[in-house]
Amino acid sequence: MTLDRRTLLKLSLAGAAVGATAVTPVITPALAQAPKKRARWICLGTKGGPRVGLGRSNPANVLIVDDVPYVVDCGPGVTKRLVEAKVALPDVRYVFVTHLHSDHVLEFGNMVYGGWSAGLNHPVEAFAPVGMEALTKAYWESIKFDVDIRITDEGKPDPRKLLVSRDIKDSGPVMNNDKVKVTAFRTPHPPITENFAYRFETPDGVFVYACDTSFNPALAKFAEGADVLIHETIYVPGVDAMVKRVKNAATLKEHLLASHTTTEDVGKIAAMAKVKKLVMTHFVPGDDPSITDEMWAADARKHYSGPIMVAKDLMEIEL
């Protein structure tokens, strides 16, 4: 039986999906010459929340199109995970942040700084809800001593001029170059309203990223027909145990239930949107090893019959 590369990739991804039989494709020299995909998405950090621990890193992703990295969310650990994913930090050209909760933005400045210290010499554009421009200014203020010294001492360009942050004020088009078109969609994440999902249209297909959000059926319309929906999730039975483990978290459970999407409701969104693949991420709780991949996916599968992937750090998704 002869299989083309696309079929082999599908088999490979199906093998990675929960509940599927693993298939190890053998790529012959002829197949290896098939045209390379131009777009891929790497989940860098898949644990929801700002607590740092071993295991899953905090929220971060990178979309790579024709070797240009578009970083999506900048939780603690994003810089190291980019390096581990073999993304050269000075290559980062675009950054998108969903909202200003710390688990999505705490390492934004340090990630750009990491690129600058490794040779960044082109502009970086960052997009996020209102507050990003002020946050960027405050970041450079906090590190002014070092930056000023290195500009004169090491002959580096001024990073404050290279990094351009833009506040997104409402749903709609955000960025469009000749390869990628990005659209934002406001979605509730109580008590936060300045919060966006993003749709990335690439030469190979569409990725939609919804993280964080409470259950929002309107997202299904925004994600309609996407090749991949990457959606946050919360596993309700795991929340009680987590709240007991975390200190100073009297109202944490109420916040989590009001502002996130249960594993079952994620399946509803994927089914309504008729997406070709669902990737679950931003796991809450993301540091409880007793919750298996099957437990994350089971309730979503009650509603969505397509392939479901339970994200892992450094997992790569091709279209």
Contacts of 84 (CB under 8 A, 6+ apart): 314
Q: Which residue is nearest to Zn ion (CB)?
A: 101
CB-wise, 101 or 186, nearer to Zn ion?
101
Smallest distance from the beta carbon of 315 to Zn ion, in angstroms?
18
CB-wise, 105 or 297, nearer to Zn ion?
105
The enclosing H or E element of 128 equals strand 124-129
* Chain-centroid distance, C-alpha 239: 22
Tell me 49's DSSP state.
Answer: S
CB-wise, 55 or 119, nearer to Zn ion?
55
Smallest distance from the beta carbon of 313 to Zn ion, in angstroms?
15
Q: Are strands 315-318 and 39-45 parallel, antiparallel or unpaired?
A: antiparallel
CB-wise, 195 or 202, nearer to Zn ion?
195
Smallest distance from the beta carbon of 171 to Zn ion, in angstroms?
18
Query: What are the Cα distances from residue 224, in Å, to 26, 218, 227?
Result: 34, 10, 9
Interaction site with Zn ion (CB under 5 A): 48, 101, 103, 212
Smallest distance from the beta carbon of 284 to Zn ion, in angstroms?
8
Q: Is 154 exposed, middle or buried (0-12, 13-18, 19+ CB in 10 A)?
A: exposed
CB-wise, 101 or 277, nearer to Zn ion?
101
CB-wise, 17 or 234, nearer to Zn ion?
234
Smallest distance from the beta carbon of 99 to Zn ion, in angstroms?
6
Rg (CA), the chain: 20
Smallest distance from the beta carbon of 116 to Zn ion, in angstroms?
26
Q: CA-to-CA distance for 95 and 139, rounded, in angstroms? A: 16
**Strand, coil or helix: what is 159?**
helix
**Strand, coil or helix: what is 105?**
helix
Q: CA-to-CA distance for 270 and 265, rounded, in angstroms? A: 9
